[in-house]
């Protein structure tokens, strides 16, 4: 492995990384180490991948951090301030796997490449160092390689800016890998929900944000990687200039009415992308302004509780997304995830999506053909980005070729839709228009130029198809068929000279030459042959000649290999340039492919899972008939021995004097309260994202904000107990929910003393009813709350139905009107496997509590009940056998005759209770 310390010096100067200070490089440092220190000084906060031959090397503290994170060997060589220089390296050919691990560990990596041919460096002197430059700064929000990205999820880079206290925040985000670029205005109250929706890989903020503890805490709560930049990079004036330059316009009015914070956020984002890509910009789309309130606001706690994109364990499997995902492309999965993360609030836009889903649901054959064609469609958006950044290869061009071909075919299939579907919904026709506008000439050119089997990188060559370039074909023939060409010339020369033993040979001194014996040499040196055959060398047993034709062929053969790659790279650059000229069209087609896949997938889901089309309007309705939990239902169907899911109705309609917009739900644990709460929230989300829903029928007035507090845990990192977390989440709901909100609350007040918890729950129910006036489901074990139905006109009691049988409880998982009279906690504890002595003791204590009416119940238990230790030592009373069990005792079924068996049945029937058995 080469060493940066090769040279006479044994030490190098101290590495300085202070901003604005020149690096301290001693005079006796080797040229290579001096170069390294100078480059590293410009990137003090990143690990420097310093290219040396076939390795990326790291030194000093970079090496220590990387070796620990990657679990690779840390070596030492040379001296630095009297100590060994620590170093480690990773192979260039497999660096992406190491890069992925470093990025996931929270590092940024500056990739420093050799930008000069070593031969050119030698011309400057024997000790000259090959020129190196950082070609890219890799950060969590700027990844573009497929190996570093999840093909089925967006990776957003976001920027947050504030230009004045009264203007709110500008929040801009872009997926650098696909070109998506959007911006919106948010308040401090809605900032958390927006960050939770985007889940950005990296967030850019001004360094001044960290002086605001509340704001910095909110950001840290929702974003894993935060990059602080100087406040000057968030200047709105500079941002406006960057945007105008990027869009090539003199004014931004034609693209939207952007606020100053929004412009500042977009400008900072563009500036950072240009910085990390070292001057090259990806093919970002025109920025789109997202109107405030256009999507259902769902805070981070609610997203986690409902397990929309991931389960509480952080896994995709078992989430709502994994349950409904039927997409066949990465772009389609990303679009589906975006729709799920941001359900719409405009009934018109929602119903346009539902029209398209219904149309494809009815057209089974068309749906099947579209899905088959979509499966062959590559990820054009990410391929286009890599090409625009100079990181693309022949396979990315092939992705553009195949994607444009798929777009053309999909548009043709839609145009040939059955007459029964006409007229097609607008959502479908708009998609077809985008697909139909593909760059046909570019598609045909790429198809004609690219070979079938393509290398990963262009420098490997062999990606231009035979027949696409006559000069290239000729050079390839020279390179690959030189022996055949030389043999052809030898035959030709033998015929011309009449010397049958003439040979064309090669050596490193003369190159290619003609060789004959001495007896034939005189004829070739005489006219007329001497005019074409030029004497080169005379040996004892042979004479050598050449011709202009042979010399030219030899020269072309020698240059062919290098020229082949040179021509191919030139053609590659031409194809990339032609592709980037059509970047807008390609981006539009790529977005249309994703939207089509997501819509067709939702239609496939609706047919497969028997989902119904919801009615969505701007009323305050919330009426679900036969609703089901999509995830639980799918899980039960995978279990062959499990009972089918029990559907339930829910009516929280908030309009009318008799409307019961607030349900108080009681019933035992394990009876299905949490499932019922969650399923109604998920049905609302599915409906407003434009999907059919798991129900027989659904009528939903659009929900502008969704709150769910189901379950809680300690937040030890922030010093919060379970009860504190519960109260913080409840406070957010009671302070923010309005009449259009949907609120799901489960077991408020359970984390403190009984009367404290009951009082808090009581007050929360009243506040929801009188102040928030939201559509809400409130599950509780405090049966005292059911009395509020007499006081609050829009509150209704509902309960989970159960049946008891010989001391055990059977959960029916059905929701019905009324209130539960018991919590059945002891029965549930018995099902959980608590010791029989504990269950027996619990029944005694419960009986005493229910009989006693005094306030000092604990002393009553101590005085009137035996000690726990005595109970633990005594076994519970054995259950008495019934008359039927006594009659069956000692009966041997195998020894009964048919007549005796019939007589036994009559006797048993007589012993059975008269309750209809």
Is residue 466 exposed (0-12), middle (13-18) or buried (19+ Cβ within 10 Å)? Answer: exposed
b (16+ CB within 10 A) / e for 900-914: eeeeeeeeeeeeeee
Residue 667 known to bind ligand: yes
CA-closest candidate to residue 496, choices 536, 519, 522, 529 = 529
Residue 869 known to bind ligand: no
Cα–Cα distances in angstroms (integers) from residue 214 to residues 192, 609, 827, in the given order: 12, 45, 45
CA 656 to chain centre: 43
Residue 567 and residue 719: Cα distance in Å, rounded? 65
Residue 296 known to bind ligand: no
Residue 840 and residue 848: Cα distance in Å, rounded? 13
Residue 585 CB coordination number (10 Å) = 16
Residue at token pair 């480690």: 88
Residue at token pair 């004497």: 535
Structural Rg of the chain based on CA atoms? 38
Residue 668 known to bind ligand: yes
Half-sphere exposure of 728 (CA within 13 A, CB side): 16
Residue 669 known to bind ligand: yes
Sequence-ordered alpha helix ranges (H) in 329-462: 330-341, 347-362, 364-375, 380-388, 394-415, 426-436, 440-449
Sequence-ordered alpha helix ranges (H) in 746-823: 754-767
Residue 704 and residue 787: Cα distance in Å, rounded? 30
Residue 79 known to bind ligand: no
Question: What's the sign of the alpha-carbon dihedral 138, 140, 143, 145?
Answer: positive
Residue 771 and residue 432: Cα distance in Å, rounded? 47
250 three-state secondary structure:
coil
Residue 670 known to bind ligand: yes
Six-digit token pair at 460?
């490997």
Residue 516 and residue 534: Cα distance in Å, rounded? 13
Q: First-to-last CA distance in the chain?
A: 88
Cα–Cα distances in angstroms (integers) from residue 78 to residues 75, 84, 87, 314, 704, in the given order: 10, 6, 10, 45, 64
Binding-site positions read 667-674
Binding-site positions for ATP read 667-674
């Amino acid at each position: 492995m080469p060493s940066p310390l090769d040279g006479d010096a044994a030490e190098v100067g101290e590495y300085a990384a202070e901003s604005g200070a020149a690096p301290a490089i001693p005079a006796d440092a080797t040229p290579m180490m001096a170069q390294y220190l100078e480059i590293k000084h410009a990137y003090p906060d990143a690990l420097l991948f310093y290219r040396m031959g076939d390795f990326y090397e790291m030194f000093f503290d970079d090496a220590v951090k990387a070796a620990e994170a990657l679990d690779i060997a840390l070596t030492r060589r040379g001296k630095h301030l009297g100590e060994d220089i620590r170093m480690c390296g990773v192979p260039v050919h497999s660096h992406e796997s190491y890069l992925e691990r470093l990025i996931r560990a929270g590092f940024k990596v500056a990739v420093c490449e050799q930008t000069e041919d070593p031969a050119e460096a030698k011309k400057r002197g024997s000790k000259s160092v090959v020129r190196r430059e950082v070609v890219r700064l890799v950060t969590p929000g700027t990844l573009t390689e497929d190996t570093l990205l999840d093909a089925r999820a967006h990776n957003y880079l976001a920027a947050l800016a504030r230009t004045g206290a009264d203007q709110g925040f500008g929040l801009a985000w872009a997926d650098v890998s696909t070109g998506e670029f959007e911006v919106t205005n948010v308040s401090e109250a809605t900032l958390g929900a927006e960050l939770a929706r985007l889940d950005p890989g990296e967030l850019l903020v001004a360094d001044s944000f960290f002086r605001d503890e509340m704001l910095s805490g909110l950001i840290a709560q929702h974003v894993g990687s935060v990059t602080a930049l100087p406040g000057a990079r968030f200047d709105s004036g500079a941002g406006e200039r960057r945007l105008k330059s990027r869009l090539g316009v003199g004014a931004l009015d034609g693209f939207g009415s952007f606020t100053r914070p929004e412009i500042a956020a977009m400008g900072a984002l563009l500036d950072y992308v240009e910085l990390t890509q070292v001057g090259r910009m990806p093919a970002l789309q025109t920025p789109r302004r997202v109107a405030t309130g256009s999507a259902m606001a769902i805070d981070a706690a609610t997203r986690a509780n409902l397990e929309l994109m991931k389960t509480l364990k952080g896994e995709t499997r078992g989430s709502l997304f994994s349950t409904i995902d039927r997409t066949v492309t990465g772009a389609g999965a990303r679009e589906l995830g975006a729709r799920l993360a941001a359900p719409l609030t405009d009934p018109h836009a929602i119903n346009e999506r539902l029209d398209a889903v219904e149309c494809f649901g009815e057209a089974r054959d068309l749906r099947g053909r579209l899905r088959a064609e979509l499966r062959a469609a590559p990820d054009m958006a990410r391929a286009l980005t890599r090409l625009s950044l100079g990181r693309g290869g022949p396979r990315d061009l092939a992705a553009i070729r195949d994607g444009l071909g798929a777009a053309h075919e999909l548009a043709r299939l839609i145009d040939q839709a059955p007459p029964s579907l006409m007229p097609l919904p607008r959502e479908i026709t708009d998609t077809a228009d985008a697909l139909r506008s593909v760059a046909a000439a570019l598609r045909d050119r790429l198809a004609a130029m690219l070979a079938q089997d393509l290398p990963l990188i262009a420098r490997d060559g062999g990606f231009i198809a035979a027949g696409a370039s006559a000069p290239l074909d000729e050079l390839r023939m020279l390179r690959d068929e030189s022996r055949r060409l030389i043999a052809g010339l030898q035959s030709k020369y033998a015929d011309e000279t009449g010397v049958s033993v003439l040979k064309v040979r090669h050596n490193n001194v003369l190159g290619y030459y003609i060789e004959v014996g001495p007896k034939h040499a005189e004829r070739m040196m005489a006219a007329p042959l001497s005019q074409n055959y030029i004497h080169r060398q005379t040996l004892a047993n042979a004479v050598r000649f050449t011709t202009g034709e042979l010399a030219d062929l030899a020269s072309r053969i020698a240059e062919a290999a290098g020229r082949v790659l040179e021509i191919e790279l030139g053609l590659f650059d031409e194809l990339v340039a032609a592709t980037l000229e059509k970047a807008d069209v390609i981006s539009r087609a790529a977005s249309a492919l994703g939207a089509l896949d997501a819509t067709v997938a939702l239609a496939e889901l609706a047919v497969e899972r028997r989902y119904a089309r919801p009615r969505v309007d701007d009323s305050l309705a919330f009426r679900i008939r036969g609703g089901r939990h999509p995830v639980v239902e799918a899980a039960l169907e995978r279990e062959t021995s499990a009972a089918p899911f029990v559907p339930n109705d829910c009516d929280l309609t908030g309009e009318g004097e008799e409307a019961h917009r607030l349900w108080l739900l009681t019933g035992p644990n394990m009876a299905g309260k949490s499932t019922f709460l969650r399923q109604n929230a998920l049905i609302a989300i599915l409906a407003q994202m434009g999907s059919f829903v798991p129900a027989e029928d659904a009528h939903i007035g659009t929900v502008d904000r969704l709150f769910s507090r189901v379950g809680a845990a300690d937040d030890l990192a922030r010093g919060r107990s379970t009860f504190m977390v519960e109260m913080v989440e409840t406070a957010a709901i009671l302070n923010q929910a309005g009449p259009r909100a949907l609120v799901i609350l489960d077991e408020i007040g359970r984390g403190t003393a009984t009367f404290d918890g009951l009082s808090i729950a009581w007050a929360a129910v009243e506040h929801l009813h009188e102040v928030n006036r939201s559509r809400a489901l409130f599950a509780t074990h405090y049966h005292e709350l059911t009395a509020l139905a007499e006081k609050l006109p829009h509150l209704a009691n509902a309960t989970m139905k159960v049946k008891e049988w010989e001391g055990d409880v059977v959960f029916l998982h059905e929701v019905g009107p009324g209130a539960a009279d018991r919590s059945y906690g002891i029965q549930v504890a018995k099902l959980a496997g608590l010791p029989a002595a504990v269950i027996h003791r619990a029944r005694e204590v419960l009986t005493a509590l229910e009989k006693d009416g005094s306030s000092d119940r604990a002393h009553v238990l101590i005085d009137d009940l035996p000690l726990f230790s005595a109970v633990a030592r005594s076994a519970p009373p054995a259950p008495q056998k019934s008359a039927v069990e006594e009659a069956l005792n000692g009966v041997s079924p195998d020894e009964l005759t048919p007549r005796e068996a019939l007589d036994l049945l009559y006797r048993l029937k007589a012993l059975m209770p008269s309750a209809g058995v």
